[in-house]
C-alpha cells in the first residue's frame, strides 16, 4: 500500500497546496504541484481516483463537502504552511468549497462572489446586461407552461440549467410545438441546482471560446479557439476546438474579430469580479455581433489538454497562480504558432469500448501534419453510449498542423475505427 505523509512528518516542512479533486482531470495539476516541490493535500470521495496514487496526502472527502475540507485544512496549518487551493471541478459546490478555503485562509484565488456570478446564470446575465454586454434574450422557466409561453413568442430557444450544471448536460434546443420539449425541460431541471431553467433565444453563428487567466486584476488571454458542436440533434454537445495560427486565412477581418473578442473578454471578467483564476467565455458571432453565451472559472472543456499539447504548461501556471507567484505567461495569445485542434470522440452505439491506439500516433497524411495524439476518457471494457453530454466522450484526438483550420479539417477526417471500436453487448 502506498505510504502517505502525515501532517507532522518531515515532508510537512514543505509548503502545501490544497487540491479539491483527484480525478483524471486533476492529475496533471497534482503532478505539477509536486514538480514545484509542494506537498499536496488532495480531497475526493473516490479512493481509487487517479490522483490518489500521487498525492502527498489524500483525504476521502467529497469535493462538495466544504465543512470537512475546511476542518482538514485547519488541521494542516497546525503543522505546515498552506499556500494555495485549486479545484478543476466545474460543479458549483466544489468551486464554492475552494472559494471558502481561499477566503478563510486569505489565499490567492477566486472569491465566493465570482462563483455565484458564474454559476447562477440569471445573475450572470443580469450583471452582463447591466454593463451593456450583449447576451441572448432570456427568461427564468419554472414550469412547462412558462416554457410554452416563451416559445409562443420566440418560436425556438436554448434551455439550460439556471444554476450550477456541468458541461452540456441539460442543454437542448426546443421548438414551439416540439415533441421533445417535456423531456428536455425535465432534464434541464434535473441538472439545475435550484430546479430552475434558463430559456434563451437561439443565436446561430460561429462560436468562440476565450480562455485565459486573471492575476491581481491583470487579464491574460491564453487562447481564442473556434468552437464546434454536434448541433441540435445531439443537444449542442461539444465536438471540439481549433486554436493557434490562422495561416492563409489571416486577414484584417479576422484580426478585427480577435481584437474585439479580447476586449469583450476584459469587460466580462471585470464585470463578474473574477480574479486570481482561470476563466472561459463562450461567445457567438452572429448577425447581432458578438454575444456572450456562458462564462466559467475553469478553462473550457479539455482546452487545458490542447494548450498543453501546443507547448503551454497550464498546470504549472495554475499552481503558480494559486500561491500568488507571478505567472510566466503574460502576453495575450489570440493567435500563436502552428494550428492546433482537439476533436472529442464519441461512440455511435451502445456497447463495450476498446481502444486501438493511445498517445502519439502516426501522421494522417501529407497536408502539413506535425503531430497527432489521442487520449482516452474510458477504460477498455467500459460501457459507452451515443452522446447526450460531454460526459459521454470516450476520449479526444489532438492534431498539430500548419494552421488551426487545417488542423481541424484533419482531425474531423480521421476515421474513428482506426482509433477505437465498440463491441455490441449480447
Note whether residue 131 is domain-resident: no
Note whether residue 121 is domain-resident: no
CA distance 66 to 64: 6
Note whether residue 271 is domain-resident: yes
What CATH code is carried by the domain that includes residue 101? Answer: 3.40.50.20
Give the lowest-confidence range in 15-24, 165-174, 234-243, 331-340.
Answer: 165-174
Whole-number pLDDT of residue 2: 42
Helix (H), strand (E) counts: the chain: 11, 20
Note whether residue 392 is domain-resident: yes
Do residues 220 and 294 share a domain? yes
Do residues 222 and 282 share a domain? yes
Whole-number pLDDT of residue 373: 94
Given a cut of 50, whether residue 238 has pLDDT beyond it is yes
More confident site: 235 or 255: 255
Q: What's the number of domains the chain is made of?
A: 4
Do residues 342 and 332 share a domain? no
Do residues 261 and 287 share a domain? yes
Do residues 157 and 169 share a domain? yes
Whole-number pLDDT of residue 365: 46
Q: Tell me: the pLDDT tens digits for 294-321?
A: 999 999 999 999 999 999 999 999 999 9
CA distance 358 to 346: 15
Cα–Cα nearest to 137, from 146, 147, 148, 126? 126
Q: Which of the four pLDDT bands, split at 50, 70 and 90, describes residue 167?
A: low
Output the nine-digit C-alpha cell for 126: 443580469
Note whether residue 221 is domain-resident: yes
Q: Which of the four pLDDT bands, split at 50, 70 and 90, describes residue 1?
A: very low
Do residues 331 and 213 share a domain? yes
Residues 354-377: what's their mean pLDDT? 75
Note whether residue 114 is domain-resident: no
Do residues 217 and 253 share a domain? yes
Whole-number pLDDT of residue 169: 74
Given a cut of 60, whether residue 46 has pLDDT beyond it is yes
CA distance 82 to 76: 7
214 CB neighbour count, 10 Å cutoff:
23
Residues 103-122: what's their mean pLDDT? 94
Do residues 179 and 283 share a domain? no
Do residues 65 and 142 share a domain? no
Note whether residue 100 is domain-resident: yes
- pTM for this predicted structure: 0.91
Q: Tell me: the pLDDT tens digits for 137-160?
A: 998 888 888 889 989 998 888 888
Mean pLDDT of the chain: 89
Do residues 218 and 332 share a domain? yes
Note whether residue 118 is domain-resident: no
Domain range holding 259? 204-230+243-336
Do residues 209 and 292 share a domain? yes
| Domain end call among 336, 359, 385 | 336
Q: Tell me: the pLDDT tens digits for 61-103?
A: 999 999 999 999 999 988 889 999 999 999 999 999 999 999 9
What percentage of the chain carries pLDDT values higher than 70?
93
Q: Which of the four pLDDT bands, split at 50, 70 and 90, describes residue 168?
A: low
Q: What is the CA radius of gyration of the chain?
A: 22
Length of the chain: 426
Whole-number pLDDT of residue 366: 46
Amino acid at each position: 500500500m502506498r505510504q502517505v505523509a502525515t501532517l507532522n512528518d518531515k515532508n510537512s516542512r514543505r509548503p502545501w497546496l490544497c487540491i479539491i479533486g483527484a480525478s483524471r482531470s486533476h492529475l496533471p495539476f497534482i503532478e505539477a504541484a509536486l514538480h514545484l516541490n509542494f506537498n499536496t493535500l488532495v480531497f475526493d470521495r473516490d479512493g481509487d481516483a487517479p490522483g490518489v496514487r500521487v498525492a502527498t496526502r489524500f483525504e476521502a472527502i467529497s469535493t462538495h463537502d466544504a465543512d470537512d475540507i475546511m476542518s482538514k485544512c485547519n488541521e494542516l496549518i497546525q503543522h505546515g504552511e498552506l499556500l494555495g487551493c485549486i479545484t478543476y471541478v466545474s460543479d458549483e459546490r466544489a468551486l464554492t468549497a475552494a472559494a471558502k478555503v481561499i477566503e478563510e485562509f486569505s489565499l490567492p484565488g477566486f472569491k465566493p462572489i465570482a462563483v455565484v456570478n458564474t454559476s447562477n446564470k440569471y445573475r450572470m446575465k443580469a450583471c452582463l446586461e447591466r454593463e451593456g454586454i450583449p447576451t441572448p434574450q432570456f427568461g427564468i422557466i419554472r414550469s412547462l407552461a412558462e416554457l410554452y409561453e416563451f416559445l409562443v413568442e420566440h418560436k425556438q430557444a436554448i434551455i439550460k440549467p439556471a444554476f450550477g450544471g456541468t458541461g452540456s448536460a441539460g442543454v437542448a434546443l426546443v421548438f414551439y410545438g416540439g415533441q421533445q420539449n417535456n423531456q428536455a425541460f425535465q432534464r434541464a431541471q434535473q441538472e439545475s441546482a435550484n430546479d430552475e431553467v434558463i430559456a434563451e433565444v437561439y443565436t446561430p453563428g460561429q462560436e468562440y471560446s476565450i480562455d485565459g487567466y486573471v492575476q491581481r486584476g491583470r487579464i491574460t488571454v491564453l487562447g481564442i479557439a473556434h468552437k464546434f458542436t454536434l448541433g441540435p440533434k445531439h443537444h449542442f454537445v461539444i465536438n471540439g476546438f481549433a486554436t493557434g495560427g490562422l495561416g492563409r486565412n489571416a486577414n484584417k477581418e479576422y484580426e478585427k474579430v480577435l481584437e474585439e473578442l479580447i476586449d469583450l473578454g476584459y469587460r466580462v471578467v471585470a464585470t463578474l469580479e473574477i480574479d486570481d483564476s482561470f476563466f472561459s467565455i463562450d461567445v457567438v458571432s452572429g448577425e447581432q455581433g458578438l454575444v456572450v453565451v456562458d462564462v466559467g472559472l475553469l478553462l473550457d472543456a479539455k482546452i487545458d489538454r490542447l494548450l498543453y499539447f501546443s507547448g503551454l504548461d497550464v498546470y504549472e501556471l495554475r499552481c503558480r497562480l494559486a500561491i500568488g507567484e507571478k505567472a510566466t505567461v503574460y502576453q495575450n495569445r489570440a493567435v500563436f504558432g502552428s494550428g492546433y485542434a482537439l476533436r472529442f470522440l464519441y461512440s455511435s452505439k451502445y456497447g463495450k469500448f476498446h481502444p486501438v491506439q493511445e498517445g502519439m500516433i502516426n501522421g494522417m497524411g501529407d497536408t502539413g501534419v506535425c503531430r497527432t495524439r489521442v487520449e482516452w476518457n474510458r477504460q477498455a471494457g467500459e460501457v459507452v453510449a451515443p452522446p447526450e453530454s460531454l460526459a459521454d466522450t470516450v476520449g479526444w484526438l489532438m492534431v498539430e498542423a500548419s494552421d488551426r483550420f487545417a488542423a481541424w479539417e484533419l482531425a474531423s477526417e480521421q476515421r474513428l475505427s482506426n482509433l477505437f471500436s465498440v463491441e455490441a453487448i449480447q
